[in-house]
Amino acid sequence: MELFKILTLLIVISALFGYLNVRFLKLPTTIGLMIMALVFSLLMILFQFVNPELTVLARDLIGRIDFTTVLMDVMLSFLLFAGALHTNVGMINEEKRSIGLFALVGVLISTFLIGTLIYYLSLFLGHEIGYVYCLLFGALISPTDPIAVLGILTKSNIPKKIEINIVGESLFNDGVGVVIFFTILEIAHLGVGNVTIGDVATLFIQEAIGGIVFGLGLGWIMFRLLKSIDDYEVEVMITLALVMGGYLIAQTLHTSGPLAMVVAGLFMGSSGLKQDAMSETTELYVDKFWELIDVLMNAVLFVLIGLEILILEFKPYYFLAGIGAIIIVLLARYGVIHFLIRISKKWVAVDKEAPLLLTWGGLRGGLSIAMALSLPAEWEAKQYIVFITYSVVLFSIIVQGLTLEKVVKRIYQS
């Protein structure tokens, strides 16, 4: 009953914020919900001086929500599958080289670059933190978030080629980022001295390659089942069952569930396969069902992110660290993309404006916060990492998201 109450409250708040955004703010859903949830949280903090008991109740409610479980084990599978299902596979295939380069090599380099810079920034601020924790921050903040990106790019008249790179990269690099993050987390648990390079390679291959192979298998099973019948109600249920069951099995097999969902969604999203497996009626219902799931999950997700501020711990130097982290993440992403484009210009063709647009359009979202919150509660570094992660995500969605269209216009009108 307690879980039902929490879910009911979240959906009611999400629907209210969604209505207010569409009716008055008229912002992209992702940004509008984030802003209203943030304002609501700040008002709750101020309201504690009037009625402290209400603020305590609100914090208690948010504190009882296992954000990591809600996002990583429940919402993520739906969000990634829905995003991949509605992605133009043919267009992504045209940019597969650059997408693969940014999603895999880019995330790896960025993880170590950001981690190293955060380590020295923390030392400068007088807050010494283990290097492995800084690498964890680098791993969780390096991937751009498809959940945040997909909702905003539709309203930012960005060149199609760069939009494909941003969307395609974000769909794959979150899976890669999750694999890297949990690999480093396992090293932190076992102790750096107790882990060999072979152990790290084995774990990475099991998660990454296993997730891709499992996703292909899941997509093929879904295709065969849908092709064998013609009943839109049952076929919608089959897609839902395979996404939920497939994600659970992937976790049991210790393969990457996020990568599996992306691959399965792209497999089914291929226009030829979709038309071959479904009737026009079924295709319409499947698309609309997953579109609705995507909107609902996005609404709840960004309300959760906004409300997180109620339970964050504040220390004076955290704000300086947060500002420093924002600058480091932006510079690191620009530098890594610029470097990768330069060394691969013979076989990867992108516009000269690509580094800037890929940097400003590379938004972070709930996935980064969920990974930060999944760190063990007994680690002293957890609150610090959560705060600087939250700072980067807020800046990313609100500032970068709101100004992306203006940046595009300035670049292409100058």
- Band the pLDDT of 405: cuts 50, 70, 90: confident
For residue 107, give the H/E element and its range: helix 107-124
Report CA Rg, the chain.
21
At 290-303, the pLDDT tens digits run 988 888 887 887 78
Model pTM score: 0.87
Residues 180/111, Cβ–Cβ less than 8 Å: yes
Q: Is 270 left (phi over 0), alpha (psi -120 to 50) or beta?
A: beta
Top-ranked range on mean pLDDT: pick from 159-163, 218-222, 310-314:
218-222
Rounded-to-integer distance, Cα 270 and Cα 207, Å:
24
Tokens matching residue 166? 């941003």
Give the pLDDT of residue 271.
65
Rounded-to-integer distance, Cα 80 and Cα 89, Å:
14
Identify the residue with better confidence: 77 or 145: 77
Identify the residue with better confidence: 384 or 351: 384
Identify the residue with better confidence: 56 or 338: 338
- Band the pLDDT of 151: cuts 50, 70, 90: low
Name the residue with tokens 């393969």: 255
Residues 250/260, Cβ–Cβ less than 8 Å: yes
Q: How large is the angle between the packed helices 146-153 and 29-47, nearest 10 degrees? A: 120
Half-sphere exposure of 230 (CA within 13 A, CB side): 6
Identify the residue with better confidence: 398 or 165: 398
The gap from C-alpha 272 to its chain's centroid, in whole angstroms, comes to: 28
At 27-46, the pLDDT tens digits run 888 788 888 888 887 887 78
Rounded-to-integer distance, Cα 243 and Cα 241, Å:
6
Give the pLDDT of residue 349.
67
At 240-271, the pLDDT tens digits run 999 999 999 999 998 988 889 989 998 988 76
Give the pLDDT of residue 182.
84
- Band the pLDDT of 393: cuts 50, 70, 90: very high
Give the pLDDT of residue 260.
92
Give the pLDDT of residue 328.
98
